[in-house]
Amino acid sequence: MKVLSTVVIVASIASLIAIAAPAGAAAPESKSQITILYDAFGTNPSMTKDWGFSALVEVAGKRVLFDTGNDANIFAANVNAKGVDLKTLDFVVLSHRHSDHMAGLNYVLSVNPTVKIYAPKEGFGIYGSSLPSSFYRKDEALPPEMRYYGGTPPQVMKFGAAWGGANFELIDKTTEIAPGMTLIALVSDAVGTKELKELSLAINTPDGVVLVVGCSHPGIEKIVEAAAAINPKIHLIAGGFHLVVAPDDVIAKAVVALKDTFKVESVAPGHCTGEPTFAALKKAFGDRYLYAGLGTTLPLGSNAGSDMRRGEGPALHKDDLATYRRLARREDPFGILPAQHLRTRASQL
């Protein structure tokens, strides 16, 4: 017993040190959580379900709005229902140029017109862009009135954003934008979204990487692979995995990759992950599947609360847990009742 308690104390001290000084990781702070502000499923009666995604990510002392939903009015109502103050955001991330992730930006700008907005850098994209004027072929023999800029173009040609005056910073390649916070920039190769660039947010916490994905058009496995290059320990993935129309074999392959190849600790899928994928992930991850419907707050890592015991259940707030259980009792959407029954039987053995 004495040996056991010594081991426990040593382990506790070691984890405290890990929390206090994680090598290359984001600094710990008081509030670490992800709040889902926009999605098409959920149980919060004061919020409106709609297709799209937005989440408030509070971690490492930063408040980050990741995507802005599909409709500015619904986004505004959901933000206000959750009492989220957009004036004190550190920055906004727009994952990609699809409207179900961007349409609330006008509302964000009406509240906070100067907020820094990270978005993917794309040629002639909606977020604006620029090119050296050397990109186009010249014909010196033409009269000036037939030549672009009368034959004397600016060195750099700037192309406007759909939101004039907004404080965009365009991300071309994977970039650490704050200590421990990295925007992973990847390009989709899928039919229908070829060349679409997407940003995912990887936060290196003392518990491993917390990865927030918008729509995962470049492929969830490719994004996780890039996150694992920052830190192979993937603590949590939240957001859209883009398997909403994928056939069962593709879903199964992705689930195996997340669980067995990348050994992802927990998943909190939403948005375009897809109903059959919710079911497959729930089956594979069990208690490590965190329900992330509209309005849910997911506590993160070492801040998850002293009353939370790791490895024994999903990291949910008490009210979220109650909602989750009520939902499960009513519909059992993830088949968790048979799983619970099996666990109960196993613990009785």
Shortest approach of Zn ion to residue 270 CB, angstroms? 10
Shortest approach of Zn ion to residue 255 CB, angstroms? 20
Residues at the contact surface with Zn ion, assessed by CB under 5 A = 98, 100, 215, 272
For Zn ion, the closer of residues 26 and 251 by Cβ is 251
Spell out the SS3 assignment of 133-158.
HHHCCCCCCCCHHHCHHHHCCCCEEE
Whole-angstrom CA distances from 132 to 139, 144, 147, 148, 161 are 17, 20, 17, 14, 17
Shortest approach of Zn ion to residue 333 CB, angstroms? 21
Sheet with 208-213, strands from edge to edge, namely 175-178, 181-187, 197-205, 208-213, 234-240, 266-270
Taking the CA atoms of residue 11, residue 13, residue 17 and residue 18 in that order, the dihedral angle to the nearest 10 degrees is 20
For Zn ion, the closer of residues 198 and 320 by Cβ is 198
d(CA 235, CA 202): 10
Both structure tokens of 107:
């509302």
H-helix or E-strand spanning residue 234: strand 234-240
Q: Is the dihedral of CA 247, 262, 306, 180 positive or negative?
A: negative
d(CA 221, CA 216): 9
For Zn ion, the closer of residues 85 and 275 by Cβ is 275
Cβ proximity of 64 and 94 under 8 Å: no
The three-class DSSP label of residue 1 is coil
For Zn ion, the closer of residues 25 and 237 by Cβ is 237
For Zn ion, the closer of residues 102 and 230 by Cβ is 102
Shortest approach of Zn ion to residue 226 CB, angstroms? 18
Shortest approach of Zn ion to residue 8 CB, angstroms? 45
For Zn ion, the closer of residues 32 and 277 by Cβ is 277
H-helix or E-strand spanning residue 267: strand 266-270
For Zn ion, the closer of residues 193 and 340 by Cβ is 193
Shortest approach of Zn ion to residue 349 CB, angstroms? 44
d(CA 74, CA 56): 15
Shortest approach of Zn ion to residue 3 CB, angstroms? 52
